[in-house]
Structure 1
Amino acid sequence: MKNTLRLKTAGWGMALLSIWLLSSCNKQTDLVTPTATGTTSDNQTVDNWILENMREYYYWNDKIPATPDLTLAPSDFFESLLYSFDATLRPDGDRFSWIEENADDLSASLSGESTTTGVEFTLYLRSQGSTNVIAQVLYVLPNSPAAAAGFKRGDIISKVNGQTLTTSNYASLLYSGGTSFAFGLAEVQNSALVDTDKSISVTATTFQANPVFMDSVYNVGGKTVGYLVYNQFVPAPNNSTGSEYDDQIDAIFSNFKAKGVNELVLDLRYNPGGYTSSSANLASLIGKNVDQTKVYFREEWNTSLTPYLKQQYGDEFFLQRFVNKSQNIGSNLQRVFVLTTEGTASASELIINGLRPYMTVTTIGTTTYGKNVGSITIVDDSGKIKWGMQPIVFKSFNSLGQSDYSSGFTPNVEVQEPINLLPLGDVNEALLNEALFQIVGSRTARRAAAEPNHLTSLGSSFQRKAGGGRMIKNMLNVKTFKL
């Protein structure tokens, strides 16, 4: 049975590596479009496919049960194979592997295409001890239905389709797959959240998000500061074989270089990861004294597969090196500031870890997600099985052998996002303002004091994208091999 593997690295992000694999499964099966309610026979067909690939590639393949139950529905069967994380019993366990029924939807999401209104938000308990929930809009995708409807960063959603958001219904109201939404809004009045009579109606649509959100250059205190908001490591739109988004990043750094940028603020606070090729591309534009001879990161695979990969492809298979970039501004930089939240994951954390051996990386914000392992997308290329799975297959290390961020990177300077959000790029916006203060030694004038945010977070919309944390490895050459 022929499978397509898109190999990813540590976290919510990597670069796309496509390997055409002829596995040891020689049995030809009938077309199966499995569901959770499929027959036992259908389940066994899919479960055998899952088991075979997991035994081959899973990072913890030595922990897979010897005799798993092949009658389980595929999603349950997949979960039964995992060496699942437990803070006490398995602190080194798996928090990130997942499976989906539709491999095409999975691939589209990895490239930034999804059915969406265009609103990205963080969920909070409305107050301590309450079961009511609010969704604070973090950013709105340009040209999306939400942008056309007038949504803006900082808007607070308290109702959906007339129902107050609570801990028991927010998932079904926001994530159930519906497309028509009437969002009821609240606002902060005298330090209290108050419902308003304002409502915004939006219809979700299939939308390709451009991860290159915005960039600016600021001249502050004699420094020329480049600022980039980058929300996903994606080289190009879904179904493109080009590098449109990477090219946009290159053009931004070409402009930074032309303008003499000598300080850099990289805003990855909402970036859950993506392709390692795009991560390496960005790191290669920033790193000081880096070139194609220097190691960006190294991969560690399971002990049974590693000897084969090493024999076939040599040690270079496990290395992602920097690439030579004429737009690199590293010669003008002594450091880079990275803005972070719990939504900063995978390929974003790879930037922090991979650049630290080469320059000072100062993080500002809150603790990152904590994903130093990588996954691959496995699909059945024959089309007989429609499922796609994303098992963890390796752990990543920087050039100094460091991989100590499974609990996330604690910020060098902690700054919470306030409840009253200013636009991204505004020099008074909390995280950017702190970065400028660190750069020039004095704060720029604020328009108003930020309202403190002491609410309990319940997660965010972008953390749900394609598993909420991915790193995908990119290779130029498609390789065919038989195991």
Structure 2
Amino acid sequence: MKKKFLALLIFCLVLSCSKDEDLTLPTTVDPDGSADVEVQDFMWKAMNFWYFWQENVDDLADDRFTNTTEGRAEYTAFLDSENSPAAFFVNKLQYIEDRFSFYNDDYRELTNSLAGISKSNGLEYGLVRFQDSEELFGVVRYVVPNSNAATTSIKRGDLFTGVDGQTLTLSNYQQLLFTGNDTYTLNMAEFVNGSISPTDEEVELTKEEALAENPILISKSFEIGGANIGYIMYNQFTNEYDDQLYSAIQALKSAGITSLVMDLRYNPGGSVNTTRLLASMIYDTNTSNIFLRKRYNDKLQEQFNDSQLEVYFTDKIDGTTINSLGLDKLYVLTSASSASASELLINSLEPYMDVIQIGDVTRGKNEFSTTLVDDRDNSYLYTPSRVNKINPDNQWAIQPLIGRNENAEGFFDYTSGLQPDIFLKEDYGNLGILGDQNEPLLARAIQEITSETGKRDFTVHNPIDIIGSSKMTNPMNNKMIDDTVYDQ
């Protein structure tokens, strides 16, 4: 399916403004050319206009620099005040309470990640701290099909405590797993009698360029206790796979499901438009129902009217009429890795249907972002058709938070995470098999659907409290990308 980015939305907004009104960019100062600050100049101007917390950062104020000889000299010195564009972005532009804005020195790497393409060995895992220790261990969550990891013996539930013979610690895990060699060896471990102990087993893995992960890992249905239950494990809101997502939903509808379990426990977020599409597939396609309301910084907010800030459920996907499941209740499995667009799905459906959340507290991310590049004639918005307009001397991209999403009832305050209705952490001593009806989180959802309590014990003896995961360096981790377009 064709990529859709925020630029398309903004063009829709601009063109639908009153005929004598367009988006107004403030008058800004240019550097005097005495320093190599082209990247920093782009960053400041883009953040000055788009950043959600622009008014909270004194150095981003519209009147921070005057358009005079002295002002240009001051502006140039300010841009040159850090030893790199990265340090400038973090130390001078980023609001202290902003946990999620980021940058990349190559916009192509960033935009590829939005399409689910990254450099990876295909092993997805969580990292857990040994109690009262600086040491860590890894818990394998799943293996991406057709990846390098899929050619090895490693599987869900396996544990590892070291890399290339070095024990994982808080101080070295990022270097060993994320910034070291593309090929490394995991030193495996086992869980025996309540303890994790290293074994002699080793697994060599190699990261591959442009590994594309289909986010729909599992889609199936069960007939249990007279209930026909659908289950989808969905691991990123990636707009490249919208058609496949709809096909999975339609297959479940054809199977006659009456309940649906969406497994978002490892889903770090992604496309807002994909989230809207999925909500419409699950609940209803009434285009009069508000899916979300946007809130930008004051400078932008005042330039839009209510109809331009409201996004509605949709009845079409890529021109095809959506045949919705029409459910009035949804079961969602979550963990501390469920973030941004995963949380948006839950929050935006809450006003319309009963959403039963099972698992752990989510990450807490209610702001959205977009990709900004040095295309100054396009308000810095990344637009695929305009890549030849990007400044060839500046390939940097920034991904700042530019707004906040509210549901139809105006609720948005979940920065501490969405609390589950049924609290159940994963247990590294009993992870189970994903998609199996006896896997603990899925089994608890099935129990809730069928109302059959039985004798199943859901006590968690070894809770997984992650401090990081294999997705933590993915540019799209914990991101909600506003690529929503209106159906014209």
Q: TM-score range by the shorter chain?
A: 0.7 to 0.9
Q: Distance in 2 between matches of 1:342 and 1:263?
A: 24
Q: Give, in angstroms, the shift of residue 407 of structure 1.
A: 1.1
The answer on 1:217 being equivalent to 2:221 is yes
Q: How does 1:73-92 map to 2 (within 5 A)?
A: 73-82=84-93, 84-85=95-96
Cα RMSD between the aligned structures? 2.7
- Identity score, percent: 35
Q: Which amino acid aligns with 2:135?
A: N
Q: Check conservation: 2:343, 2:364, Cα contact below 8 A.
A: yes
Provide closer, same or farther for how the CA distance between residues 404 and 350 of structure 1 changes in structure 2, counting only shifts above 3 A.
Answer: same
The TM-score, its normalising length taken from structure 1, stands at 0.84
Q: Which amino acid aligns with 1:292?
A: T
Q: How does 1:30-49 map to 2 (within 5 A)?
A: 41-42=35-36, 44-49=37-42
For 1:339, the equivalent position in structure 2 comes to 333
The answer on 1:320 being equivalent to 2:311 is yes
Q: Distance in 1 between matches of 2:437 and 2:38?
A: 57
Q: Check conservation: 2:336, 2:466, Cα contact below 8 A.
A: no
Q: Distance in 2 between matches of 1:117 and 1:18?
A: 36
Q: Distance in 2 between matches of 1:113 and 1:423?
A: 26
Q: Check conservation: 1:123, 1:457, Cα contact below 8 A.
A: yes
Q: How many residues align?
A: 434
The answer on 1:186 being equivalent to 2:185 is no
Structure 2: any 5+ residue segments left out of the alignment?
15-22, 65-74, 375-389
The TM-score, its normalising length taken from structure 2, stands at 0.83
Structure in which a larger fraction of residues adopt strand: 1
For 2:272, the equivalent position in structure 1 comes to 276
The answer on 1:153 being equivalent to 2:156 is yes
Q: Distance in 1 between matches of 2:29 and 2:95?
A: 30
Instruction: Decide which of 132, 136, 149 is 1:133's aligned counterpart.
Output: 136
Instruction: Decide which of 56, 59, 66 is 2:52's aligned counterpart.
Output: 59
The answer on 1:425 being equivalent to 2:425 is no
Instruction: Decide which of 367, 381, 404 is 2:361's aligned counterpart.
Output: 367
Provide closer, same or farther for how the CA distance between residues 22 and 174 of structure 1 changes in structure 2, counting only shifts above 3 A.
Answer: farther
Instruction: Decide which of 451, 454, 458 is 2:467's aligned counterpart.
Output: 458
Relative contact order, higher structure (CA 8 A, sep 6+): 1
Q: Distance in 1 between matches of 2:158 and 2:32?
A: 51
For 1:113, the equivalent position in structure 2 comes to 117
For 1:439, the equivalent position in structure 2 comes to 449
Q: Check conservation: 2:40, 2:79, Cα contact below 8 A.
A: yes
Q: Give, in angstroms, the shift of residue 81 of structure 1.
A: 3.5
Q: Check conservation: 1:232, 1:272, Cα contact below 8 A.
A: yes
For 1:298, the equivalent position in structure 2 comes to 293
Q: Distance in 1 between matches of 2:51 and 2:277?
A: 27
The answer on 1:200 being equivalent to 2:203 is yes
Q: Check conservation: 2:424, 2:460, Cα contact below 8 A.
A: no
Instruction: Decide which of 399, 415, 440 is 2:408's aligned counterpart.
Output: 399
Provide closer, same or farther for how the CA distance between residues 197 and 154 of structure 1 changes in structure 2, counting only shifts above 3 A.
Answer: same
Q: Give, in angstroms, the shift of residue 429 of structure 1.
A: 0.9
Q: Give, in angstroms, the shift of residue 400 of structure 1.
A: 1.2
Q: Distance in 2 between matches of 1:451 and 1:408?
A: 21
Deviations 1:358-413 (A, max 9, x none): 10001000000111111111012233311110111111101111112111101100
Structure 1: any 5+ residue segments left out of the alignment?
9-15, 31-39, 86-92, 237-244, 478-483
Q: Give, in angstroms, the shift of residue 316 of structure 1.
A: 3.4
Find the residue that maps to 2:39 and give its secondary structure: helix
Q: Distance in 2 between matches of 1:433 and 1:444?
A: 11
Q: Check conservation: 1:297, 1:321, Cα contact below 8 A.
A: yes
Deviation >6 Å, runs of 4+:
20-30, 448-451
Find the residue that maps to 1:458 and give its secondary structure: strand
Q: Distance in 1 between matches of 2:465 and 2:250?
A: 41
Q: Which amino acid aligns with 1:7?
A: L
